[in-house]
């Protein structure tokens, strides 16, 4: 069940139409995901709605973490995507598609040393540069829509108390034009999100797996409050992580059961 909150829209909304996406530009909002949730509750959401906030004041990440964004230095937006025949058993494929789409966009911008930290953080030089938060909407057990939240650090030069964060500016030693980055992301996300019904999921997961951070390397995990050294072997189609511990035991664990740590 989805719960909705009343949101404060700080300034006016501008609507523009661009290809598959209907762009809704906000000057500021607490959360672009929550903004779309409220529109969905009111029956106002349409396929391809994309809410882009110049300033997101209360962004959310995975595991109820906050997503810290800096005014005019971050790119924060959410997409409303509907489905007709996409199986609810393949919801993780949406996360995979979005992660691969973002990676394609950053490669197009010539950002180096990129990887995906399972389940859905994008890293540059082993530091987080982007995050994804996907909230799926079901009706009678069937997947009907997703609200896909994306946050990308662009021109921040400092991250207080966030030693594992970085930005495009820090990764490339230059300042970036936010509109250029958005247009590049938009193109790649259009390509992959609006062809999900025809994409061969096996190929999509294969590409995601190739891009995984610390694939086939000994990595520190935290499981049930204890630290575990194991080798990341891959993922399942449901999104579970496949790891091999020091005894050679193979385990399949969800993101609620295990967490990958940065200290490697």
Q: Higher model confidence: residue 231 or residue 67?
A: 231
User: Pick from 174, 2, 209, 176: which is nearest to 99 by CA?
Assistant: 209
Q: Tell me the mean pLDDT in the region 120-149.
A: 94
Burial of 162-194, coded b for 16+ CB within 10 Å and e otherwise, reads eeebbbbbbbeeeebebeebbebbbebbbebbe
Mean pLDDT of 167-189: 95
If asked whether residues 117 and 182 sit together in one domain, one would say yes
pLDDT tens column, 33-55: 999 999 999 999 999 999 999 88
> Residues 243-257: what's their mean pLDDT?
95
Q: Which of 170, 194, 210 is the last residue of a domain?
A: 210
* Domain count of the fold of the chain: 2
Task: Estimate to the nearest angstrom the gap between the alpha carbon of 98 and the chain centroid.
Answer: 6
- Assigned domain for 128 exists: yes
Q: What is the mean pLDDT of residues 4-20?
A: 43
Q: Could you tell me if 86 and 170 lie in one domain?
A: yes
Q: What gap in Å lies between CA 225 and CA 247, rounded to an integer?
A: 19
What is the mean pLDDT of the segment spanning 126-153?
Answer: 94
Instruction: Identify whether residues 83 and 112 lie together within a single domain.
Output: yes
Confidence of residue 69 (pLDDT cuts 50, 70, 90): low
Q: Which of 79-88, 197-206, 245-254 has the highest mean pLDDT?
A: 245-254
Q: Does any domain span residue 6?
A: no
Domain span at 101: 13-210
The pLDDT of residue 30 is above 80: yes
Q: Is the pLDDT of residue 58 over 90?
A: no
Contacts from 204-209 at CB under 8 Å and sequence distance 24+?
204/93, 204/96, 204/97, 204/100, 205/93, 205/96, 205/235, 205/237, 207/100, 208/96, 208/99, 208/100, 208/116, 208/235, 209/234, 209/235
**Pairing mode, if any, of strands 21-29 and 49-56?**
parallel
Question: How does the average pLDDT of the chain come out, rounded?
Answer: 87
Indicate the pLDDT class of residue 160, thresholds 50, 70 and 90. Answer: confident
**% residues pLDDT > 70 (the chain):** 87
Q: Is residue 5 part of a domain?
A: no
Whether the bond into 119 is cis, omega within 30 of 0:
yes
Query: Is 0.85 topped by the overall pTM?
Result: yes
Q: What is the pLDDT of residue 201?
A: 86
CATH of the domain at 245: 2.30.30
Which of the listed residues 210, 228, 247 is the one where a domain comes to its end?
A: 210
pLDDT at 115 over 80: yes
* pLDDT for position 63: 46
Question: Is the same domain home to 192 and 224?
Answer: no
- Judge whether residue 7 has pLDDT over 50: no
CA distance 212 to 122: 9
pLDDT at 16 > cutoff 80: no
Report the distance separating Cα 182 and Cα 164, nearest Å.
23
Decide: 86 and 146 in contact? Cβ < 8 Å: no
Question: What is the structure's pLDDT at 45?
Answer: 96
Instruction: Tell me what pLDDT residue 107 has.
Output: 96
Q: pLDDT confidence of 65, banded at 50, 70, 90? A: low
pLDDT of residue 140: 85
Q: CB atoms < 10 A from the CB of 44, how many? A: 11
> What is the reported pLDDT for 66?
56
Q: Residues 128, 60: one domain?
A: yes
Residues 253 and 197 in one domain: no
Do 223 and 185 sit in the same domain of this protein? no
- The pLDDT of residue 2 is above 70: no
- Domain assignment of residue 7, yes or no: no
- Please report the pLDDT score of residue 70 as a whole number: 61
Which band of pLDDT confidence, cut at 50, 70 and 90, is reported for residue 1?
very low
Answer yes or no: do 155 and 250 share one domain: no
**35, 166: one domain:** yes
């Amino acid at each position: 069940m989805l719960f909705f909150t009343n949101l404060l829209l700080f300034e006016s909304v501008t609507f523009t139409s661009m290809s598959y996406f209907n762009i809704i530009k906000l000057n500021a909002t607490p959360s672009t995901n929550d903004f779309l949730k409220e529109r969905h509750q009111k029956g106002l959401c349409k396929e391809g709605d994309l809410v882009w906030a110049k300033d997101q004041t209360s962004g959310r990440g995975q595991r109820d973490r906050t997503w810290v964004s800096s005014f005019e230095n971050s790119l924060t937006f959410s997409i409303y995507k509907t489905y007709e025949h996409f199986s609810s058993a393949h919801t993780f494929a949406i996360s995979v598609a979005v992660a691969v789409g973002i990676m394609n966009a950053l490669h197009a911008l010539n950002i180096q040393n990129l990887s995906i930290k399972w389940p859905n953080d994008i890293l540059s030089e082993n530091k987080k540069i982007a995050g994804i938060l996907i909230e799926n909407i079901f009706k009678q057990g069937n997947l009907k829509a997703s609200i896909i939240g994306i946050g990308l650090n662009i021109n921040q030069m400092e991250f207080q108390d966030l030693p594992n964060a970085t930005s495009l500016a820090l990764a490339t030693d230059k300042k970036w034009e936010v509109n250029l980055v958005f247009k590049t992301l938009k193109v790649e996300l259009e390509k992959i999100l609006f062809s999900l019904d025809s994409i061969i999921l096996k190929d999509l997961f294969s590409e995601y797996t190739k891009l995984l951070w610390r694939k086939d390397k000994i990595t520190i995990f935290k499981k049930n409050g204890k630290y575990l050294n194991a080798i990341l072997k891959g993922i399942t189609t449901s999104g579970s992580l496949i790891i091999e511990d020091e005894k050679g035991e193979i385990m399949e664990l969800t993101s609620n059961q295990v967490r990958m740590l940065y200290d490697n």
